Amino acid sequence: MNLIKVELEQQVVDFIRSLPTEPRRAVRRGIKSLARERGDIRALEGELEGFYRLRVLRYRIIFFYQIRSDSRMIRCVYAAPRGIVYEVFAQGIRDLLA
């Protein structure tokens, strides 16, 4: 099975660095599993259609697939605790499009 390249936006990197040791390790393992498209992954709906989420513990990582010529890449664009991740990310998208 070919691995998919996974890229992280700076917000995701900063979020991971801010976590305590054990959750940080779990999130890193979860992101590494994305290269094989494994983990608790779901497609998002509504205004976030086209994005996916990876669930690791009580955290969510928002990502999308980017197609380049004959290869796919995963771009992780936002990460936060479950309670705020969707609302804050959706607001950021709305602000970007306004």
Where residue 62 falls among pLDDT bands split at 50, 70, 90? Answer: very high
pLDDT above 90 covers a percentage of the chain that reads 83
Per-residue pLDDT for 35 more than 80?
yes
Per-residue pLDDT for 29 more than 70?
yes
Total tally of structural domains belonging to the chain: 1
Asked if residues 89 and 21 have their Cβ atoms less than 8 Å apart, the reply is no
Concatenating the DSSP letter of every residue in the chain gives -PPPEEEE-HHHHHHHHHS-HHHHHHHHHHHHHHTTT-SEEEE--GGGTT-EEEEETTEEEEEEEEEETTEEEEEEEEEEEHHHHHHHHHHHHHHHH-
CATH assignment at residue 46:
3.30.2310.20
Whole domain around residue 93: which residue ranges? 5-97
Where residue 1 falls among pLDDT bands split at 50, 70, 90? Answer: low
Bridge partners (DSSP) listed for residue 76: 8, 63
